[in-house]
Amino acid sequence: MKTNLLIVFILITGFSLSAQTRFGLKTGVASGSVTTNNDLVNAEGTALGSFQLGGIFDTRLTSKLSLQSQLLFLGKGVAVGVNTEKNQYRFAALDIPLQLLYRTKGGWFIGGGPNLGFNLSAKTVYLDQTNEITLGTEAGQLKGFDFGVTATGGYQSKTGLVLSINYVKGLTNLTNEANAEWRNNVLGFTVGYMLPLREKK
């Protein structure tokens, strides 16, 4: 996983060196859900609220198109139960969405692309009991790398304020168990700010 992170960091750094790249910050809420064949989760699973926080690197390609990469720390997972004392499956993750955005003159944008996800930790939480889940490739463990696709839309003002909604659909089956399925999904709402474009020397 460290090698994958290094490769992605090099690519983002290369794009960010462009004179047409704007940098920004964003934060907001994340609503986690899962795609699974677990009958109990499907019957009693509800969205798990969390956060997201990170940076934005937006490189303008044309007057209407830009290539945007982000570096986001966020929570994923699901809550399972029929009462207020739910069993929570919580993931701490680093997501790197790589998106092609279409922009209008009025400030609206829409786009999407691949999402490179890296699970940093996983655990189950019930009341005051916490059980860590090991990340790895063996039975009983969960995969660390989580590939998916993402779509986004929103508004960016001339002053740099950004309001956006995004959805990440996980495509990687994170479980190593035979005949089992677990894919993380996230719906996010964020507010951000883009720094002014660097002036050419």
> Tens place of pLDDT for every residue, the chain, 201 residues?
555 555 555 555 555 555 578 999 999 999 999 999 999 999 999 999 999 999 999 999 999 999 999 999 999 999 999 777 899 999 999 999 999 999 999 999 999 999 999 999 999 999 889 999 999 999 889 999 999 999 999 999 999 999 999 999 999 999 999 899 999 999 999 999 999 876 655
In this prediction the pTM is 0.87
Determine the pLDDT at residue 124: 96
98-101 long-range contacts (CB < 8 A, ≥24 apart) are 98/67, 98/68, 98/69, 99/67, 99/68, 99/69, 99/70, 99/150, 99/152, 100/65, 100/66, 100/67, 100/68, 101/58, 101/65, 101/66, 101/67, 101/68, 101/152
Residue type, 77: G
CA dihedral 68, 150, 4, 93 (to 10 degrees): 110
What residue spans define the domains of the chain? Answer: 2-194
Both tokens assigned to 181: 């399925």
Collect all residues with Cβ–Cβ distance below 8 Å to 66 and sequence separation of at least 6.
Answer: 58, 59, 60, 100, 101, 103
Return the CATH number of the domain spanning residue range 2-194: 2.40.160.20
